[in-house]
Structure 1
Amino acid sequence: MGSHMGSHMGSHMGSHMGSHRGLLKEKRMRESLCRKFASLACALALGSSAVAETGRDSNAGRISDAILEALVEANGVPGMSATLVRNGDIVWLGSAGLRDIERALPVDADTTFRFASVSKLITATAAARLAQDGGLDLDAPVRSAVRYLPEAWPAISARQLAAHTSGIPHYQEADSERGRVRFNTTADAVGVFSGRTLLSEPGAAYNYSSYGFTLLSAVVEESAGEPFLDYAARVLLHDLDIGPDLGGDSRATIAYDFTGSGGVKPVPPHDYSYSWGGAGFRGSSRDLALFGARVLSSAIVSQATREMMWTPAMLNDGSIVMEDRDAAVGFGWRIGRDLDGARIVHHAGVTDGARSALVLYPESGDSVAVLSNARWTASIEQTAMMLAAPFRVGANSGARCPLTASRFEGRFGAETIRGAARFRLERGACRGRISAANALGAWLNSFPQRDAAELQIIAVLSDGSLTRAALVTPVGVYDLRATDDGAHAARVGANRALSIAFR
C-alpha cells in the first residue's frame, strides 16, 4: 500500500483540499458580513431560510426543544442539534448541551458535527445526479471508469455499490489504524481494500460496506473528470456549509466517547480520507436538513432520479435488498414507513465522536436531521421522527394528562414493571417522569451512555392530552401512545413491547 500511495502523492486530492478550504473561507466571510448588516438580500444570496413560525409551530417548537433537552439529560451525550425543514423552510432548529466541555461552549445553530455514514447519502445522490446528466451508466462495470481495480474482481456496477451488494467487505481488523493516515487521492483510498477477496458474488447478498462507497466516490470522480469532493460541492452542496472533515473548523464540536461509567472523554483525531464518500462529511444539522430538502424539491435531482434512488434494490435472485425487517435498501437510501404509516427514506450514522440521522418524508416535504457529538447506542432514526412529531401529529382527543397518578405498572417484554410516576401541565403540554428502577430501566442502562434513574414523558401536543407522547430514554426517544384499554404502549429498541398504565 505504501508504494501505491507514493505513486499518487501530489495529485488532485491535495489541490482539491486547498480549493475546498478556500471556498469555505469565502463563504464564511460572506456569512460574517450578512450577520453584521442583517440584510435580507444577504440572506437570499446565501440561500438561507428563516425559521418560519406560526402559533402552532411556536408551541411545537417548545415541545421539540424540551424533548431534545430531555434526551441530552438522559443519555449524557455532551451536545446535540436537530433541524426540521418543511418544503424548503426551516420550521424548527434545536440545540442542547455543549460542543466543548472544557471551555463550556454551547452547541448552536452553526455548530458542525461529523455526519458519519449519513455521508453516504451525499455520495449516492452525487452518483445519481451524474447518471441523470448522462455521465454515468449505473449498471455498467465500474472498471470501465476506475481502471486501477484488480482484474481478479468480477464486474461490479455502481448500482450494486450503492445497495451494498457488491461483495466488497466493510472495515476489517487490519483497518484498526485507518484513521491515522492521510490518503492524498481517492485512488490511494481504494488501494486500502482493492486487494481483498469479495464476500460474495456481486448482486448475490447484502453486505454493508463503507469501502463500497469509497469506490463509488472514485466512480463519480473518474466519470465526472473532477475530484469527487469538488463535484459534490459544485453540484449538490453549493451554499451549504457541508464538506469533508479536514479539521481546522472553529465551529466544529469536540468529538467525545463514553468512558464506560457514563462519563465522556475526547476521542483522538481521526482522518476520514480513506472514505470521504462513506463516512467523511461534516456540517450543521441545519445544512444537513437543507440538503435533504433539496433532494425532496428536485433542486439537485429530478423526480425520476429521486424515485430511482428510493426504489428497493433487487438481488440476483429477484428478492428485495433489506437492511432489517423494517427497512429496504435503495440507491444508498433506506426505505420504510414511520409508525403512522407515512413513507420515509433515511440513513443513520455512527463513528468515533458522532451519532447521526437524516429522515425525509416525501409526501409532506419534511426533512429531519439529528446530529450528536458522541458515539452512543441509539434508536437515532426513531428519535428524529419523534423530534418532528410535534409538527406532524394532528389534534386529538382521548387520554388526558394523568395529573393525579402517583405510580405505574405494566410489562416490558415478558417482565412485569412498576414504579413511581408524577405528571404536570407546562404551557398546556403534559409532562411526566416515571421510575427506571425496574426491568425497563435495567435494559436501558445496560449501554455505555449515562444511566437514568427516571424517564421523561413529554406529550407531543399542548392540548392537555397524553394520547401521543415522547418517551425519552438513554437510548433514544420512543412513540408512547394511548391504547383503547386505558394504558400506554410503545415499541422500544428493535422490537421490545412496552405497556404501562398510570394509577
Structure 2
Amino acid sequence: MKRSLLFIAATILFVLGGFISYNHFSWKKLPNFESSGFEEIFDEIYTKQGKESSKTLRELVSTLKVPSASAAVAVNGQLVWVGTYGFADIEKQTKVSPLTLYRIGSTSKALTSVAVMKLVQDEKLDLDVPISTIIQNYPEKQWSFSTRHLLSHTAGLPDYEDLGIKGLYYSMLNFKQFSSVEESLALFQNIPLLFEPGTGFKYNSFGPVLASRVVEISSGMSFEEFMNKYIFQPSGMKNTYLEKGKNNPASIAKFYETDNQGSYRNWHTFGFPKQIQNLSYKWAGGGMLSTPTDLVLLGNRLLTDNEFIGEDIKGIFFTPQLLNNGEVNIQNYALGWRLNQSYTSKHFKNRTVTMMVHHAGISKGSMNFLCLFPKENIVINVSTNGRSEDIDFSHFWDFTMQLVAPFVDGLHSEGM
C-alpha cells in the first residue's frame, strides 16, 4: 500500500514537473512579419479604403501580438477588399493567404442559425414546437423547451463549467473525433435544465449543438450535408468545413497562445502535436473552420438575396428575444446572432449611428468577428490564429471597427 502511494505521488510530481517545465520553456519570440502582407482590391473605387485597412491590419497584428490576421470586406453584395498579414505557420514561415482556414469559434452559432432560418422559411420547422416532439428519444426534462429557446440561450441548458471534470476536459483539451452530432449529445443530454425555459439566459454551446440535431431530423440529412448543400455551396463558400482534427484540410492555420510581451507557443497542447486537438463535439456551437472571404460571402447573401432568406425570416432571427416576463434577455441576444440596433464607433466619422448584426468567436488559439451592417450593405470578417489571455477581446473588436470604418465612412460621405 505504501509503495503504491509513493508511486502515485511520484507520478503526480513527474506530471506536475512536466507542466511547469513546459510552461516555462515552451515560449518563443514572435518573428518579424515584414514582407508577409497581402492585399487585393477588387474595385478601384475602394483603393483608398483598402490601403487604409491594410495598414490597420498590420497594426492589429503588431498590437494584439498575434501570428497573423486575415480580413475581408464586401459592399453592396460585392467583395471589395481582402487583406492578410503574418504567418499561418510560424515554424515553417508559411505566410497567411486569403485561403488560410481559421477556427471561427462561436461564429459557428450564426452559421447554424442560418441553417435553421432556411428550414423555417421552407416550412420544415416550427421554432416553437417542443424539442421532445422533434427528437423523440431525447431524455425528458423538468420543462419543455423549443428550438427558439436553444438558439436564444434561454432553454436552461448548461455549459462546460456545469459538467464538472468532463466539461473541463472538453473545454481545455480534446482528442476524440465524434462521428456524428447525435454522438456529441451524450455530453450533456442527461443533465437537468438549470432553470425553466424562457425565465433566464445562459450562454452556451450545447443549445446550437442540439439545434443542429433538429436540423438533421427536419431535413433528413446530416448536419454537414445540409450545411454544404443549402448554406455553403449556394453562397459560394468553398473553404468552410466542420473541424475534424487530424482530417482537417491542409490549408488550416496553426494556432497559438501569445502574450503581451511578443512571445508565442502552440495553443495549450502541453507538447502534443496540435493536429490531434479536435472540436467535433461542438460543430454547430463552435467547431467550424472558414476564411474571412467565405464568411463575408455568406453575409452578402443574407443582406442582398431575399430568395435565399426572406426579410420576414431575417426579421425574426435578428430580433433580440424576450423572456417570459416580457423583458429582453440580458445580452440582447437574438436567434444565433447579436444585435446592436443603434451602434456607433469612435472610428466612424461624425460618429455615424447604424445597425450592426454580428457574432464573434473565441476558440483554441483563434479569434473571429463577423459583422453585418444592413443599412449600408457592408459585411466584414476578421480572423486571427492566436490570442493572449492578457489582451481583452474588446481590443480585437475595436480593430475590426477601425478596419471597416473607411468603407462605412465612404458610403455616408456619398450620401449612401
TM-score (normalised: structure 2) = 0.79
Tell me the equivalent position of 2:139.
150
Distance in 2, matches of 1:278 and 1:146, equals 18
Tell me the equivalent position of 2:339.
335
Aligned partner of 1:166: which letter? A
Q: Using a 3 Å threshold, how does the CA distance of structure 1 residues 251 and 341 change in structure 2: closer, same or farther?
A: same
Matched, 1:86 2:98: no
Which of 169, 180, 203 is the aligned partner of 1:177? 169
Aligned partner of 2:263: which letter? G
Percent of aligned pairs sharing the same letter: 30
Matched, 1:53 2:53: no
RMSD of aligned residue pairs (Cα, Å): 1.8
Q: What is the CA-CA distance between 1:139 and the residue it aligns to?
A: 0.4
Tell me the equivalent position of 1:254.
254
Distance in 2, matches of 1:182 and 1:259, equals 30
Tell me the equivalent position of 1:482.
none
Output aligned runs, 1:85-484, within 5 Å. 85-172=74-161, 173-174=164-165, 175-178=167-170, 179-238=174-233, 239-240=236-237, 241-246=239-244, 247-258=247-258, 261-267=261-267, 268=269, 269-298=276-305, 299-323=307-331, 328-336=332-340, 337-339=342-344, 340-376=352-388, 377-379=392-394, 380-394=396-410
Q: Using a 3 Å threshold, how does the CA distance of structure 1 residues 182 and 394 change in structure 2: closer, same or farther?
A: closer
Contact persistence 1:359–1:381 (CA under 8 A): no
Tell me the equivalent position of 1:44.
none
Output aligned runs, 1:2-13, within 5 Å. none
Distance in 1, matches of 2:142 and 2:223, equals 23
Q: Using a 3 Å threshold, how does the CA distance of structure 1 residues 396 and 154 change in structure 2: closer, same or farther?
A: closer
Contact persistence 2:178–2:281 (CA under 8 A): yes
Query: SS state of the match for residue 60, structure 2?
Result: helix
Aligned partner of 2:222: which letter? P
Contact persistence 2:60–2:399 (CA under 8 A): no
| Number of equivalenced pairs | 343
Distance in 2, matches of 1:388 and 1:236, equals 25
Distance in 1, matches of 2:243 and 2:412, equals 44
- Structure 2 gap ranges (5+): 1-39, 270-275, 345-351
Q: What is the CA-CA distance between 1:395 and the residue it aligns to?
A: 9.7
Q: What is the CA-CA distance between 1:62 and the residue it aligns to?
A: 0.8
Aligned partner of 1:316: which letter? N
Q: What is the CA-CA distance between 1:165 and the residue it aligns to?
A: 0.4
Contact persistence 2:41–2:50 (CA under 8 A): no
Contact persistence 2:65–2:259 (CA under 8 A): no
Distance in 1, matches of 2:41 and 2:308, equals 22
Distance in 1, matches of 2:356 and 2:327, equals 21
Q: What is the CA-CA distance between 1:194 and the residue it aligns to?
A: 0.8
Q: Which moves more between the two structures, 353-362 or 180-189?
A: 180-189
Q: Using a 3 Å threshold, how does the CA distance of structure 1 residues 395 and 259 change in structure 2: closer, same or farther?
A: closer
Aligned partner of 1:334: which letter? R
Runs of 4+ in 1 over 3 A off after TM superposition: 259-262, 394-397
Distance in 2, matches of 1:199 and 1:128, equals 27
Query: SS state of the match for residue 111, structure 2?
Result: helix
Distance in 2, matches of 1:300 and 1:274, equals 29
Distance in 1, matches of 2:314 and 2:387, equals 30
Structure ID, larger Rg: 1
Q: What is the CA-CA distance between 1:382 and the residue it aligns to?
A: 3.3
Q: What is the CA-CA distance between 1:307 and the residue it aligns to?
A: 1.2
Aligned partner of 2:343: which letter? D
Contact persistence 1:51–1:89 (CA under 8 A): no
Aligned partner of 1:371: which letter? S
Distance in 2, matches of 1:76 and 1:390, equals 24
Aligned partner of 1:338: which letter? Y
Contact persistence 2:64–2:260 (CA under 8 A): no
Q: What is the CA-CA distance between 1:128 and the residue it aligns to?
A: 1.4
Distance in 1, matches of 2:102 and 2:298, equals 15
Query: SS state of the match for residue 107, structure 2?
Result: helix
Aligned partner of 2:169: which letter? E
Contact persistence 1:349–1:357 (CA under 8 A): yes
Distance in 1, matches of 2:141 and 2:290, equals 38
Q: What is the CA-CA distance between 1:52 and the residue it aligns to?
A: 3.0
Q: What is the CA-CA distance between 1:217 and the residue it aligns to?
A: 0.5
Q: What is the CA-CA distance between 1:125 and the residue it aligns to?
A: 1.0
Q: Using a 3 Å threshold, how does the CA distance of structure 1 residues 390 and 154 change in structure 2: closer, same or farther?
A: same
Distance in 2, matches of 1:155 and 1:51, equals 51
Whichever structure has more strand as a proportion of its residues is: 1
- Structure 1 gap ranges (5+): 1-49, 398-503
Whichever structure has more helix as a proportion of its residues is: 2
Query: SS state of the match for residue 199, structure 2?
Result: coil
Q: What is the CA-CA distance between 1:261 and the residue it aligns to?
A: 4.9
Contact persistence 1:259–1:265 (CA under 8 A): no
Distance in 1, matches of 2:310 and 2:398, equals 28
Query: SS state of the match for residue 108, structure 1?
Result: coil
Q: What is the CA-CA distance between 1:262 and the residue it aligns to?
A: 3.7
Q: What is the CA-CA distance between 1:260 and the residue it aligns to?
A: 7.3
Q: What is the CA-CA distance between 1:51 and the residue it aligns to?
A: 4.5
Once the two structures are superposed, what CA deviation does each residue of 1:333-376 show, in whole Å capped at 9, x if it has no partner?
A: 10003312200100101011110110000111111101000134
